Amino acid sequence: MNILLLGYGKMGKAIEQIALERGHQIAGRIDISNRADLDQLTDDAVDVVIEFSSPEAAVDNIRYSLKRGWPVVSGTTGWLSHRDEIEELCRTQNGAFFYASNYSIGVNLFFQLNKVLASFMRKYPSYRVSMTEIHHTEKKDAPSGTAITLAEGIMEHLSQKTRWINQTTAADNEVAIESLREGTVPGTHTVRYDSDVDRIEITHVAHSRQGFALGAVIAAEWLPGRTGVFGMNDLLTNE
pLDDT tens-digit profile of 181-193?
Answer: 999 998 999 999 9
Is 114 annotated as contributing to ligand binding? no
pLDDT-derived band at 138 (thresholds 50, 70, 90) equals: confident
**Overall fold of domain 2-103+210-237:** Rossmann fold (3.40.50)
β partners of residue 129 = 193
- pTM above the 0.85 mark? no
Which secondary-structure segment (H or E) carries 133? strand 128-135
Is 238 annotated as contributing to ligand binding? no
Catalytic pick from 135, 161, 189, 204? 135
Instruction: Name which of 92, 86, 82 is nearest 73 in CA terms.
Output: 86
Structural domain boundaries in the chain: 2-103+210-237, 105-205
Phi, psi (5° rounding) for residue 186?
Answer: -70, -30
Is 19 annotated as contributing to ligand binding? no
Catalytic pick from 13, 82, 115, 139? 139
pLDDT at 101: 85
- Active-site residue 135, yes or no? yes
pLDDT at 217: 97
Tens of pLDDT, residues 208-236: 888 889 999 999 999 999 999 999 989 98
CATH of 105-205, picked from 3.30.360.10, 1.10.1740.10, 3.30.420.40, 3.40.50.920, is 3.30.360.10
